[in-house]
Every structure is written in C-alpha cells, then in structure tokens.
C-alpha cells in the first residue's frame, strides 16, 4: 500500500491505465502491465484515448462559445493532461469546473492539482448514484443560480452495467434548460471477437467489467434530449465516431477510429428560441477575446476548495 489510504499499486486501476494510454506518468507497474495486455489485444485503444481527449476539448470549446461557463466532469479520471478546468478557462476565464470520480486516488490527485483554485473542485462520487452527486453541497454550489452546465461523461458509461438511462434522465430532469450532456462510449466491432473478449477479460480481472453498447443503444440514453448535429451539414443528429464530431472547432481531431461513439445532447428550451449550435463565426479562446470595459466581481468560490496536502502520485516516473 502507498501512503494514500485506499490506493493499492499492486492492482491495476482504470484511471491509471487510461493515463498510460495517453502517455502520462501517473501509473504503476500493475497498470502498465494490464494496459500493455489491452494494447496487444486491441492496438486501437491508444488512438481511441487520444481521439476521446480531442473530442472533450471540442465539446468544451463549443459549449463555452455559447456562453456555458460551468462544467461537471463525471468519471473524470486523472486530470493531468489538458484537464477540463484549464481547457474551459482557455475559452472562458470565469469557467468553473467540478470533477467527480469514484476512485479515491483520482479525487486526491485532482485536489492536489487544483490547490487553492476557488473556481474548481473535486469530490468523490459514483455516477450510478447521480442523485447523491447532484445533492452534494459542492455540486449545488456549482449549479447555483440556474446557469446552464455542460456535463461530461466521457469513457465512463461502458463501466456501468445498467441504469445508465436513469442517470441521463435524472440529469435532464434536474439541470437547467439549455444544459449539455456529452457522452463517449465504447462500441462493439472495433476489434475482432478474440481481441474484444481478451480486453473484456482484462478489465473484468481488475474489477471493472466492460459493457459495450451499440450506437443505437447510446442514442437511446438521450431520450427527451435534443441531440446536437455533429457537423456543419446539420444532418448528423445521431452518434458518430469520436473524430467526426464538430471537426471544425479547431482542436486536433485525433485519429479516425470507430472504437468509441460520441453524442452531445441538449435539454430543450421551452418558450424561448431554440439554442443555435452554429455560431456565425468561429469561437475564440478567452485569451483572444476583447477586454471587458467594466470589471466583474470575483468568481464565487466552490465550497471545499483550498490548499491541500501533496499527492504521492504526482510526477511519478515509469519503471524501467
């Protein structure tokens, strides 16, 4: 065991394996061994991880370009490489982010990364208990005032066996109109049958079994949502491969890979003009926006933020 209670480096963890796929260094020997077995069975997983990160950046940029400044990252994983709060603030300097993960190490790592950042926080929670997450004081602070929020559920749904439709229905019912939900989800068919079975066996052996869903099954999770068009033709109002969602945003699209499907849905407005997902001009990051004439009040702090103890997992190097 490490100095962090509840973290066993001898057992591979999903978040640390994903960090390895992305080329990160916050992983242990057990994670690397398991990840290499996955890569051997399904080499496309490395490209899929890169494409998933690129998809996240484009979703954040699209949401921020339309005025959304609050981001809820469910099942966030280790936020080390281009984390959500930094990407969001590159578009909106006042963006606020809440990270949620059931992995204790992820939460501690995120808190260490955030330090005394008053506009970002991390809490422990399981998306299968979405009511508890939404009822958490830190989440309520993020959602205070009824502002729209962008929820990210990227690469996490395929670790939930059942009840995922209840999660999306609860979000639709409890979040403000105009809020967004982005899901990326592993789909069958990207690897041969033997490779797929091998990957499933590896994840099952570490206590995180995979539950692949077809693109149609992922789309069904958005019952009652308005699926946003994935391209400028406005015809792709359905799940698409990761690289095919809004490639015009300006972020690197990543490799063309169909191992995961992507959907972004919006809670429909009532009694107001429909939200236009197609800006007249390409959105620009916050650094390129004009200076405001009137100063704004400080961004309200999210409860629970502030200096934290060091993380024993920061700057960990690969074993030779």
- Give average pLDDT by consecutive 10-residue segment, the chain, 320 residues: 65 95 94 98 93 95 95 94 93 96 92 91 97 97 94 98 97 97 90 84 96 95 94 74 87 76 90 44 49 52 53 46
| pLDDT confidence of residue 220 | 96
Domain range list for the chain: 47-190+209-271
CATH class of this structure's domain 47-190+209-271: alpha beta
Which of these, 124, 113, 107, lies nearest to 81 by C-alpha position?
113
pLDDT value of residue 235 = 63
* DSSP code for 152: E
Q: Return the pLDDT at 80.
A: 78
Note the pLDDT of residue 259: 87
User: In this structure, are strands 240-241 and 180-186 parallel, antiparallel, or unpaired?
Assistant: unpaired
What pLDDT, on the 0 to 100 scale, is given for residue 312? 45
> CA-to-CA distance for 117 and 147, rounded, in angstroms?
20
The distance from CA 99 to its chain's CA centroid, rounded to whole angstroms, is 9
Q: Which residues of 269-289 are buried (b: 16+ CB within 10 A; e: fewer)?
A: eeeeeebebeeeeebebeeee
Q: Are 107 and 122 in contact (CB under 8 A)?
A: yes
Closest CA to 89 of 119, 59, 111, 113: 119
What is the structure's pLDDT at 283? 52
Q: Of the candidates 57, 66, 51, 106, which has an alpha carbon nearest to the alpha carbon of residue 85?
A: 57
* pLDDT on residue 301: 61
């Amino acid at each position: 065991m490490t100095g962090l209670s509840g973290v066993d480096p001898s057992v591979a963890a999903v978040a640390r394996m994903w960090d390895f796929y992305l080329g990160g260094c916050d992983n242990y020997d057990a994670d690397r061994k398991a990840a290499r077995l996955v890569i051997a069975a399904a080499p496309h997983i490395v490209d899929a991880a890169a494409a998933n990160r690129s998809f996240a950046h484009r979703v954040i940029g699209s949401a921020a370009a339309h005025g959304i400044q609050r981001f809820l990252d469910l099942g966030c994983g280790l936020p080390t490489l281009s984390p959500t709060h930094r990407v969001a603030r590159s578009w909106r300097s006042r963006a606020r982010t809440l990270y949620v993960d059931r992995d204790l190490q992820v939460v501690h790592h995120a808190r260490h990364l955030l330090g005394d950042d008053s506009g970002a926080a991390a809490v422990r929670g399981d998306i299968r208990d979405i009511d508890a997450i939404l009822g958490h004081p830190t989440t309520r602070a993020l959602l205070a005032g009824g502002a729209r929020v962008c929820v990210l559920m990227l690469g996490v749904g395929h670790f939930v066996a059942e009840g995922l439709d209840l999660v999306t229905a609860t979000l639709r019912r409890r979040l403000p109109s105009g809020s967004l939900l982005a899901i990326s989800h592993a789909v069958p068919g990207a690897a041969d049958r033997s490779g797929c079975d091998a990957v499933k066996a590896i994840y099952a052996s570490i206590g995180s079994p995979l539950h692949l869903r077809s693109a149609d099954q992922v789309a069904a999770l958005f019952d009652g949502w308005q699926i946003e068009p994935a391209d400028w033709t406005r015809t792709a109002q359905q799940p698409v491969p990761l690289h095919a969602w809004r490639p015009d945003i300006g972020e690197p699209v990543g490799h063309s890979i169909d191992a995961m499907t992507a959907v972004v849905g919006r809670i429909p407005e009532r009694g107001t003009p429909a939200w236009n997902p197609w800006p007249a001009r390409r959105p620009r990051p916050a650094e390129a926006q004009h200076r405001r004439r009137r100063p704004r009040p400080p961004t309200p702090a999210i409860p629970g933020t502030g200096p934290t103890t060091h993380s024993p997992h920061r700057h960990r190097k690969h074993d030779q």
